Amino acid sequence: MSSIQLLTKNALTHSLKGIQTQFLLNARKFSSKPPKTVAACIIGDEILSGRIADTNAHFLAKECFNRGLDLQKIIVVPDDMNDIGDAVTELSNKYDLVFTSGGIGPTHDDITYEAIAKAFDLKLEEHQLTIERMLKHGFVREDSILLKLPGIPNKPKPRPLNAARLRMATLPTPCNVMFPCDDLWVPLVTVNKNVSILPGVPRLFESMIIPYINKVAGRTNSNFANGAYDKKGKFFRQMIGSNLFEADLAPVLREAQMEINKKKLGIKIGSYPKYRPSPKNDDEKDMHSDNIQEKSNVLITFVGRDEAEVKKWKEIVKEKIHGFDVEEEEDTTSKQ
């Protein structure tokens, strides 16, 4: 082989290795997809009238945060066909994952399945697998002889699978159906690839949502179930307290947030005032008393995906405002 041929072969080999390396780097780059964005649509007149306090959105927010899912919007709509449809289609177009809560029971005002089917131009059909599960969980056909037998003491009476209950198994079609809990017949229905429909009853919502978001967060292994989260995707939160007033802290917090944004660190600083009665005497006005933490006026949070940077900026701000650390469980404030 001539020296020219050898040089050409070596150059080609080197070039191919370079292309292969670049391909692998690009593959890693594109395989690291951005965190999934999430939205929730809470459905029910009873929520908007104040008769019931919704807890499902709060539960979902905590579970998404712990799994690195970015919950960006929560809306509440009434039991209205158009309102539900408009809200869900808008959220579906904008966010990676959408969860609905409420409106899938047996009564006339439970119209979520119907509204979502209409919004996405889907059929409504009885889902046979759901019906089979209902029959295994205490329901019986209306013509069943079991309904004619006398009741057995200390044993629940069979429930007829009547038209009202069949509404709960009449689903938008086509759809993806899963049953996250072995002890429940209730289906978790997903349409349009990213809209998942859940019940409004908190016990059911909480039981069903956890296995599902474990799956969509990509943490279905046994380590995840034991609390070993992937630190690359998880959010981290640090908190400090201050005995200054929020308006006095604003310039420092604004400056820190601007610097964080400039460096594109993805950290958000939150400021949450606490309500305290006006001081009654000079001792209570002393902001440097031994009881400083109990007299804190503001809770400040730092949230981001880079644990080291979150801790670093917490310390920077804490030093500037002479603040103090606050443990997670001590956070009982609400934004005023």
Q: Provide the residue ranges of all domains of the chain, joining segments of one domain with +.
A: 37-225, 236-330
pLDDT of residue 151: 61
pLDDT digits (tens, 9 = 90+) for 197-213: 999 999 999 999 999 98
> Which CATH number describes the domain made up of 236-330?
3.30.70
pLDDT of residue 213: 87
pLDDT of residue 228: 38
Mean pLDDT of the chain: 80
pLDDT of residue 23: 38
**Confidence check: pLDDT of 67 > 70:** yes
pLDDT digits (tens, 9 = 90+) for 129-160: 999 999 988 777 655 555 555 666 656 677 77
pLDDT band, residue 46 (cuts 50/70/90): very high
3-class DSSP state of 234: coil
pLDDT of residue 39: 98
Could you tell me which residue, 195 or 145, shows the higher pLDDT?
195
Place of tokens 């031994």: 290
The Cα-based distances of 249 to 236, 269, 271, 333 in angstroms read: 23, 12, 9, 17
pLDDT of residue 137: 85
Residues 247/251/256/257 CA torsion (nearest 10 deg): 70
Backbone φ and ψ of 297, nearest 5°: -100, -25
**What would the mean pLDDT of 16-40 be, rounded to a whole number?**
52
pLDDT band, residue 327 (cuts 50/70/90): confident
Among 22-36, 49-63, 169-183, 311-325, name the one with the lowest average pLDDT.
Answer: 22-36
Backbone φ and ψ of 35, nearest 5°: -55, 145
- Class (C level, CATH) for 37-225: alpha beta
**What would the mean pLDDT of 298-314 be, rounded to a whole number?**
93
pLDDT of residue 279: 54
- By C-alpha distance, which of 206, 215, 199 is closest to 42? 199
Could you tell me which residue, 276 or 20, shows the higher pLDDT?
276
293, two tokens: 């933490």
* pTM reported for the whole predicted model: 0.73
Q: Which amino acid is at 36?
A: K
In the chain, the percentage of residues whose pLDDT exceeds 90 is: 61
pLDDT of residue 145: 52
pLDDT band, residue 277 (cuts 50/70/90): low
299, two tokens: 């809770």
**What would the mean pLDDT of 88-96 be, rounded to a whole number?**
97
Among 15-24, 175-184, 244-253, 280-289, name the one with the lowest average pLDDT.
Answer: 15-24
Provide DSSP, 66-119: HTT-EEEEEEEE-S-HHHHHHHHHHHHHH-SEEEEES--SSSTT--HHHHHHHH
**Confidence check: pLDDT of 284 > 70:** no
Cα distance between residue 84 and residue 120, in whole Å: 12
pLDDT band, residue 278 (cuts 50/70/90): low
**Confidence check: pLDDT of 332 > 50:** no
Other Cβ atoms closer than 10 A to 298: 22
Number of residues assigned to the chain: 336
**What would the mean pLDDT of 114-130 be, rounded to a whole number?**
97
8 A C-beta contact, residue 75 and residue 87 = yes
Cα distance between residue 58 and residue 36, in whole Å: 18
Cα distance between residue 172 and residue 163, in whole Å: 17
